[in-house]
């Protein structure tokens, strides 16, 4: 009934003269393709994943974007804010870095945050965020892109979307 399986007859496996199997050959180049390096995807779209506080996410969705029919992308909101209110974003970043230095060390409780994926369609969109971060980093403090996104969204909630951005998004402005 249940007889043990017998190996199928076939040609013997390749073996070296010493009776050992040859080494496997490497299949790939061992690196990412050039077009996917550094977060840049298809057609020059740069994808940046960040986590923002839930309260900030709720403020962006309900207060900033709540009344809009056609919503701009989060990347556009951040780029427009960094272009139009760069000094305020720098102040917010500087404040965030000084207060984070005073945070207690030790066990940290999980914070309520929301994942957000930004898709920068234009190189100038990401460049405006990176420029604000570079200017705020003047004293050598480490400022991540996540901190830059959070600061830009906080300023955007305070200031609102510029009128020209609302026209670009398809909103009639009286």
pTM: 0.67
| Predicted confidence (pLDDT) per residue in 107-162, tens digit | 777 778 999 999 999 889 999 999 999 998 876 678 899 999 999 999 999 998 86
| Predicted confidence (pLDDT) per residue in 131-142, tens digit | 999 998 876 678
| Predicted confidence (pLDDT) per residue in 22-80, tens digit | 666 666 555 554 444 455 556 678 899 999 999 999 999 999 998 888 889 999 999 99
Residues 6+ positions from 152 with CB-CB distance below 8 Å:
77, 78, 81, 82, 89, 92, 129, 132
| Predicted confidence (pLDDT) per residue in 89-98, tens digit | 999 998 887 7
**For residues 17 and 11, is the Cβ–Cβ distance under 8 A?**
no
**For residues 154 and 53, is the Cβ–Cβ distance under 8 A?**
no
What is the C-alpha to C-alpha distance for residues 152 and 160, in angstroms, rounded to an integer? 11
């Amino acid at each position: 009934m249940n007889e043990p399986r017998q190996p199928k007859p076939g040609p013997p496996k390749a073996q070296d003269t010493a009776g050992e199997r040859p080494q496997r050959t490497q299949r790939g180049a061992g690196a990412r393709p050039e077009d996917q390096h550094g977060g840049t995807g298809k057609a020059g779209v740069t994808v940046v994943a960040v986590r923002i506080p839930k309260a900030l996410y709720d403020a962006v969705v309900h207060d900033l974007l709540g009344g809009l029919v056609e919503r701009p992308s989060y990347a556009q909101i951040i780029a427009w804010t960094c272009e139009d209110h760069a000094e305020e974003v720098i102040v917010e970043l500087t404040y965030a870095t000084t207060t984070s230095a005073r945070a207690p060390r030790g066990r940290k409780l999980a914070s309520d945050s929301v994942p957000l994926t930004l898709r920068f369609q234009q190189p100038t969109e990401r460049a405006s965020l990176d420029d604000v971060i570079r200017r705020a980093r003047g004293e050598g403090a480490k400022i991540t892109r996540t901190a830059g996104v959070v600061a830009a969204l906080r300023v955007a909630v305070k200031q609102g979307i510029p009128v020209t951005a609302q026209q670009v998004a398809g909103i009639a402005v009286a």
